[in-house]
Structure 1
Amino acid sequence: MAKNFESESRKLLLRLREAMAEHSAGQARLDKITRLIASSMGTEVCSIYLFRDPETLELCATEGLKPESVHQTRLRIGEGLVGRVAKKGRVVNSADAPSESGFRYMPETGEEIYSSFCGIPIQRLGENLGVLVVQSKEARNYSSDEVYALEVVAMVIAEMTELGAFVGEGAALSPLHQQSVLIRGGTAQEGAAEGKVWLHEPRVVISNPIADDPETEVQRLEAAIEELRVGVDRMLEGALGGDKDQLQVMEAYRMFANSKGWLKRMKQDIGQGLSAEAAVEKEQSIARARMGQATDAYLRDRLHDLDDLSNRLLRILTGQGRDTGAEMPENPILVARNIGPAELLEYDRKLKGVVLEEGSVGSHAAIVARALAIPLIVHAERITTEALNGDTIMVDGDEGVVHLRPDETVATAFRDKMAMQTDAQTRYASIRDKPAETLDGTTIQLMMNAGLMADLPSLAGSGAEGVGLFRTELQFLIRNQMPRRTELAELYSRVMDSAKGKRVVFRTLDIGSDKVLPYMAPQDEPNPALGWRAIRVGLDKPGVLRMQLQALLRAAAGRPLTVMFPFIAQYEEFTAAKAEMDKAVAREKILGHPLPSELRVGAMLETPSLGFAPQKFFEEVDFISIGGNDLKQFFFAADRENERVRRRYDTLNVSFLTFIEGIVNRCRSTQTPLSFCGEDAGRPLEALCLAAMGLRVLSMRPASIGPVKSLLRRTNLEEVRAIIHEARERGDQSVRNAVKEYLRTANPDA
């Protein structure tokens, strides 16, 4: 790039910095910026369009178009050339804009006299904030140097917007991070909580996007890059004991840290007038934008590496590390892009809730959040850029909604809802030690789900009659290496001790799909939920399964032991897994170790195929637990990680309940104990209908036992069963409305 052009670019940025520092109102600053850019670039028009909402762009300032069109002209994303830039996140550079496909003429702006058009996305860290446009009467393409200079200017505007210079409409422009924001996401763990934001990785704030001395900035960048490389080398040394795949990942990470192209691009940005920090963030924003468009998994991973390296580099340059010295507020609600199970557990039980920008309903973090009994929202778009440490935040895990900096009306309504839930929990405590016996004399056994030692105190407090599912994979997921057999045996023994004689059903390692061990080579599968997971991994790699079974047998130390195998899809898989248990028992006997006084070996029914297994399976298995979460997604062919389809199908669908009833009848004919485990078991209405279908054991999170027991004790199960059969006879798709109506009339308090 020519030296004189770089010099002009720096002059423009310095003028922009002066405009940014002025104490004038946001609109006046924005108007001055468009004048400065038009003058410096030698164009008749410069306009700034900002997002009014996720789908609408608004003309917020212009030099050259009709002033009265400001805050009046709006475009939908994808509409016209401006909308195309916003949608694609890419530059549009045309010498003859009216001839371009999709061109939209806006008569109120007076732009019909301008032929050339160059639109630049205003982005920050992959988030589209708006579009910077320059236009001129002369039919010409803007040069690559001019486009590059405009990209640098757009980067600075993005920083100014992020710092609260202007967002909103007209003269009443509200500063960002002061507005009340409602964000919709997905429910990964139910519950409600109010607290203060605690950012897992506090956002690095760049206070100096424009630099006076490029040479000094380059020196700062090079020193920071060197510190970064030393740190990555140390990480690589620490991984030398890992497996081949882990080393390959770390080598790829180091390759990016040493990328000459990356450093060259950042130096070019500095040459245009950006500070070292702003240069890093500009390239990071480009990588984030590409990450969102990449379909290749390998490329996405590499762009993610670059994103992570950029964050590390920014912390080095700004000194804004994770340990900022800020104290965690009371009632903290964690906000993060994503988080691993080990990191989440490090917070212990201090957190009141978790909100993730990414994540999934079956992620490691979701499993831990359920174990900690705190609400978790996933897919909360833009939460990490909207939230600041200490912001008031209200998390409604039941509805999948986050209220950030809520106004008083919203806050009052939310607190009323929480108060009602607290009152309800007080009522549930009064029936804690009473049986879940319905009005017609049917007793339902209510068990709890667990996965951590920290869960076990809930066994007594919740009124659960035992642990219907103890997830053993958490102990594998939160470590960087395979746990030893002795460690597992000690843990399982402590679990049994804490249960104080109540039954604990241990599920063997359920990994794969969305639960990948940090030290296990990831499998590139097009549909992992239907792939190599759970018992399939255990049977193909029997060493880990045998080790875990031996640990369970030793933990029992002569006490009763209950074990079940996950994701059994056919009879032969159960017989193969049971054979491994028989071998483990025989080995323990030879070694002279005490054997369990009673050993029950069961299977999880999570695929429709097992419901049609040979009669011999139902005769041989000691018990069956229906894994409702997986069974429902396979029954309806609706991925439970896909928000578009997972809520489309109802657990109380007549077809699904009929299938459940069929399993109940098969188990009844062979006197095989049957239970239902999953989120639906903890929803009172669903639990009631499952019980009406013949299920007598339900396992759920501890907090759900009170509400479920309360409804069961106030309802006649035979009458509910009759209502379900009537709905089925009528051809209703779901029995939900019919059962709700019955409860309203027969039991108004239910």
Structure 2
Amino acid sequence: MMDGTETESRKLLRRLRDAMAEDRAGQARLDNITHLIADSMGTEVCSVYLFRDAETLELCATEGLKPEAVHETRMKVGEGLVGRVAKSGNVVNEADAPSAKGFRYMPETGEEIYSSFLGVPVQRLGEMLGVLVVQSKQAREFSADEVYALEVVAMVLAEMTELGAFVGEGAALSARHQQSVLLRGTTGQEGAAEGHVWLHEPRVVVTNPIAEDPHKELTRLHEAVDTLRIGVDQMLAGASGGDAEQVQVLEAYRMFANSKGWMRRMEEDISRGLSAEAAVEKEQSTARARLSQVTDAYLRDRLHDLDDLSNRLLRILTGQGTNTGAEMPTDPILIARNIGPAELLDYGRSLKGIVLEEGSVGSHAAIVARALAIPLVIHAQGLVTEALNGDHIMVDGDQGIVHLRPDDTVVAAFRDKIAMQAKAQERYASIRDKPALTKCGKTITLKMNAGLMADLPSLEGSGAEGVGLFRTELQFLVRNQMPKRSELSALYAKVLDAAKGKRVVFRTLDIGSDKVLPYMKPHDEPNPALGWRAIRVGLDKPGVMRMQLQALLRAANGRPLSIMFPFVAQYEEFIAAKAEMNKALERERILGHPLPEKLEVGAMLETPSLAFAPDKFYEEVDFLSIGGNDLKQFFFAADRENERVRRRYDTLNVSFLTFLEGIVKRCDASGTALSFCGEDAGRPVEAVCLAAMGIRTLSMRPASIGPVKNILRNVDLDGLRRVIEDAGRRGEQSVRTSALDYLRNQA
């Protein structure tokens, strides 16, 4: 029996390394490894179970169980003791396995004759790959040294699996990072793109998990940690005197970098036979496994800090990562767990597409992706660990689907789709300068949404008649400190210059919910979408609002100016915001600065409550813009970040259209200009239905203007209105089917 000393552990790892070097097929290699482990640990059984899919484990090799059970015995996660290890990510050590809770008898393996059971997870960076098991007839609990030794072996197995060591004839395993993968996520920004993977944080591949010389590995580890500590100290010195929260994060980094416990565990891993890289990654995998089970936000942040430090240390040890000198492909699709707006803007329009494992449809990254008109898919779980730099990838932002290393049939179908879209864009270019005049003689005004200077060239190229929404928060989000009034004024002036006299509607700062400024203390709210955000923040922090209003007035420099307040829920909020506007105007007049020749002050209608505001509100507000994204989620009480509910409710629901019709009537009665701004304005079917309900101005992303204008020029809105009304009378929940039938007949 193996006694768990470092000599025996290193001896086993050396035998494993020698076995790996032999010229064998994948299955033969895996079979040999189970034999070596059982022999070294003095157990009758050693088995390797690997995942076949997200929910199923398969017995892939065994020493001691019936050979015919290999690739035949399968179990679900959570089923039996093996499934328990896979589900929890924890070691299961049972002296009397058959009587242990959850034991599953599998007659095809012959395992009922074995009493003791030790199962450890085979995982890499928190990704569960399988379970490694040893069993013996003797009823005993395995010692702490034996458990530790098997964990070290499991770590090496994970690296070998990652490197494709068990792929080959008879292995019944597919090579990782080689097969085609289809991932389903969520649409963050529509559009389709083909290109090659560019990892925001390139994965580090450990190619030498087993150490030749432990003393040499310890020296390498100590030198790398010294380099890491110096780097953290330099970052901290650069941040001192700056943002207090950033300093706190770096202080936590330094605490971990100087952690004696972290260092001791890695040194012990090396003494057991692992290389310095494998020791770092073993600790990182343990931290990642804990991370998935921790609910406390503070602890999760600290584990994220440790994870980030481990990545930095691995890059120092291997020379891999951001400093490898790897060249970005000419058609990069950016892959990341998440990414901040400033980092995304650094990439700019060079990106063909973006895929994130996290994020939200209203996140900073999504806002920037929309501004740059780059297809974005979010919630694509597992892509960061599956993709490698340079992999062929296709992103379908319309469907929220990602094809990694696609096969020829997928490539052909996808390219056909892109070609059809390109052909349609050519057709739309021919009507760019023509009005959106319907068959029934109604003209619809089409405007574009923007948030960056980079958007403004689209104003002319898309055929937009102005900017219906300029998001001003992006300039706040991409900085580490509050921008100066002079900086904002210069930017807003450039926006007005670029618009060349076309109307630009500036929306004041819309932060809160999922848009938190890096230099403002975040407020932990149970439901931030319904919390302290937008106009509520502005009225509670009037200094910031005044500064922005002054910047806008100075940018106009006497030219016409349109300003819109976001998320107004009641008349009193608009009155308070307009009072701040009047104060800013008076201050500019006293200072002798030119005032706008025409000033329009509007509001975004994003809450149902504002639709029922007093008549006085509709008489005083210069214009209203329906914020369709938020309004829809509050109307249906369905969180637009929640995939389980948001797709249940249709914009073309009769109830919602009837509600919009009521807003149109109130605006018509008061002579208030009305527009609709949001994703639905840029979807052709939704757009024509909104126009049929009486909304005469639509604001959307630039790429949507062509398709929307094309359908509007080919439709009779009066006929469509009758179809919508008839569907309502028939009691249909949504008018979508009836509207589509009508539009097909119009084509």
TM over 0.5: yes
SS in 2 for 1:12: helix
In the alignment, structure 1 residue 468 sits paired with structure 2 residue 487:
no
Q: Distance in 2 between matches of 1:300 and 1:272?
A: 29
Instruction: Deviation per CA, 1:227-248: give whole Å up to 9, x if none.
Output: 1111111111222232333322
SS in 1 for 2:593: coil
* Aligned residue in 2 for 1:423: 423
Q: Distance in 1 between matches of 2:420 and 2:546?
A: 48
* Aligned residue in 2 for 1:329: 329
Q: Distance in 1 between matches of 2:57 and 2:409?
A: 29
Bigger shift: residues 242-251 or 706-715:
242-251
Alpha carbons 2:25, 2:167 under 8 Å: kept: no
Alpha carbons 2:447, 2:468 under 8 Å: kept: yes
* Aligned residue in 2 for 1:271: 271
Q: 1:654 deviation in Å?
A: 1.6
Alpha carbons 2:195, 2:393 under 8 Å: kept: yes
Q: Distance in 2 between matches of 1:655 and 1:167?
A: 57
Q: Distance in 2 between matches of 1:167 and 1:677?
A: 53
Instruction: Deviation per CA, 1:521-563: give whole Å up to 9, x if none.
Output: 1222222111111111111111111111100000000000001
Alpha carbons 1:52, 1:168 under 8 Å: kept: no
Alpha carbons 2:3, 2:145 under 8 Å: kept: no
- Which consecutive unaligned segments of at least 5 residues does structure 2 have? none
Alpha carbons of structure 1 residues 571 and 472: separation in structure 2 relative to 1, 3 Å:
same
* Aligned residue in 1 for 2:718: 718
Alpha carbons of structure 1 residues 648 and 168: separation in structure 2 relative to 1, 3 Å:
farther
Q: 1:210 deviation in Å?
A: 0.9
SS in 1 for 2:292: helix
- Report the AA paired with residue 298 of structure 1: Y
Alpha carbons 2:562, 2:599 under 8 Å: kept: yes
Q: Distance in 2 between matches of 1:152 and 1:369?
A: 43
Alpha carbons 2:203, 2:321 under 8 Å: kept: no
SS in 2 for 1:176: coil
Instruction: Deviation per CA, 1:350-403: give whole Å up to 9, x if none.
Output: 110011121221111111111111101111111111111111100000010111
SS in 2 for 1:225: helix
- Report the AA paired with residue 275 of structure 2: S
SS in 2 for 1:348: helix
SS in 2 for 1:488: helix
* Aligned residue in 1 for 2:132: 132
Q: Distance in 1 between matches of 2:170 and 2:693?
A: 60
Q: 1:98 deviation in Å?
A: 2.0
In the alignment, structure 1 residue 89 sits paired with structure 2 residue 58:
no
Q: Distance in 1 between matches of 2:417 and 2:537?
A: 44
Q: Distance in 1 between matches of 2:22 and 2:683?
A: 56
Bigger shift: residues 58-67 or 523-532:
523-532
Q: 1:167 deviation in Å?
A: 5.9
Alpha carbons 1:627, 1:676 under 8 Å: kept: yes
Alpha carbons 1:439, 1:713 under 8 Å: kept: yes
Alpha carbons of structure 1 residues 707 and 306: separation in structure 2 relative to 1, 3 Å:
same
- Report the AA paired with residue 189 of structure 2: Q
Q: Distance in 1 between matches of 2:200 and 2:346?
A: 11
Aligned residues: 746
Alpha carbons of structure 1 residues 100 and 417: separation in structure 2 relative to 1, 3 Å:
same
* Aligned residue in 2 for 1:310: 310
SS in 1 for 2:496: helix
In the alignment, structure 1 residue 197 sits paired with structure 2 residue 202:
no
SS in 2 for 1:293: coil
* Aligned residue in 2 for 1:242: 242
* Aligned residue in 2 for 1:729: 729
* Aligned residue in 2 for 1:120: 120
In the alignment, structure 1 residue 581 sits paired with structure 2 residue 572:
no
* Aligned residue in 2 for 1:222: 222
Q: 1:688 deviation in Å?
A: 1.2
Instruction: Deviation per CA, 1:490-510: give whole Å up to 9, x if none.
Output: 110000010010000101111
* Aligned residue in 1 for 2:596: 596
Q: 1:204 deviation in Å?
A: 0.8
SS in 2 for 1:241: coil
Structure 1 vs Structure 2: percent identity of aligned residues?
78
* Aligned residue in 2 for 1:6: 6
Q: Distance in 2 between matches of 1:473 and 1:169?
A: 57
Alpha carbons 1:71, 1:170 under 8 Å: kept: no
What are the equivalent positions in structure 2 for 1:149-188 lying under 5 Å apart? 149-166=149-166, 170-188=170-188
- Report the AA paired with residue 417 of structure 1: K
Bigger shift: residues 89-98 or 415-424:
89-98
What are the equivalent positions in structure 2 for 1:22-61 lying under 5 Å apart? 22-61=22-61
- Report the AA paired with residue 425 of structure 1: Q
- Report the AA paired with residue 395 of structure 2: V
* Aligned residue in 2 for 1:669: 669
* Aligned residue in 1 for 2:363: 363
Q: 1:216 deviation in Å?
A: 2.2
Bigger shift: residues 316-325 or 236-245:
236-245
Alpha carbons of structure 1 residues 172 and 143: separation in structure 2 relative to 1, 3 Å:
closer
* Aligned residue in 2 for 1:99: 99
Bigger shift: residues 316-325 or 118-127:
316-325
In the alignment, structure 1 residue 349 sits paired with structure 2 residue 336:
no
Instruction: Deviation per CA, 1:550-594: give whole Å up to 9, x if none.
Output: 000000000000011111111111111111111000000000000
* Aligned residue in 2 for 1:440: 440
Q: Distance in 2 between matches of 1:321 and 1:330?
A: 19
Q: Distance in 1 between matches of 2:559 and 2:108?
A: 82
Instruction: Deviation per CA, 1:323-356: give whole Å up to 9, x if none.
Output: 3111111211111111111111111211100111
Q: TM-score w.r.t. structure 2 length?
A: 0.98
Q: 1:3 deviation in Å?
A: 9.1
Alpha carbons 2:459, 2:702 under 8 Å: kept: yes
* Aligned residue in 2 for 1:296: 296
Q: 1:57 deviation in Å?
A: 1.1
Q: Distance in 1 between matches of 2:743 and 2:4?
A: 79
* Aligned residue in 1 for 2:385: 385
* Aligned residue in 2 for 1:456: 456
* Aligned residue in 2 for 1:742: 742
Q: Distance in 2 between matches of 1:22 and 1:205?
A: 22
Q: Distance in 2 between matches of 1:613 and 1:52?
A: 58
SS in 1 for 2:43: coil
Alpha carbons 1:166, 1:176 under 8 Å: kept: no
- Which consecutive unaligned segments of at least 5 residues does structure 1 have? none
Alpha carbons 1:334, 1:355 under 8 Å: kept: yes
Instruction: Deviation per CA, 1:247-270: give whole Å up to 9, x if none.
Output: 223222222222222112211211
Alpha carbons of structure 1 residues 170 and 76: separation in structure 2 relative to 1, 3 Å:
farther
Q: Distance in 1 between matches of 2:393 and 2:439?
A: 42
Alpha carbons 2:4, 2:146 under 8 Å: kept: no
- Report the AA paired with residue 736 of structure 1: R
Alpha carbons 2:25, 2:168 under 8 Å: kept: no
Bigger shift: residues 241-250 or 399-408:
241-250
SS in 1 for 2:349: coil
Q: Distance in 2 between matches of 1:79 and 1:517?
A: 45
* Aligned residue in 2 for 1:407: 407
Alpha carbons 2:120, 2:131 under 8 Å: kept: yes
In the alignment, structure 1 residue 539 sits paired with structure 2 residue 503:
no
Q: Distance in 2 between matches of 1:528 and 1:65?
A: 54
Q: Distance in 2 between matches of 1:711 and 1:142?
A: 72
Q: 1:410 deviation in Å?
A: 0.6
Q: Distance in 2 between matches of 1:634 and 1:98?
A: 54
Q: 1:169 deviation in Å?
A: 9.6
SS in 2 for 1:377: strand
- Report the AA paired with residue 463 of structure 1: G
Q: Distance in 2 between matches of 1:102 and 1:263?
A: 37
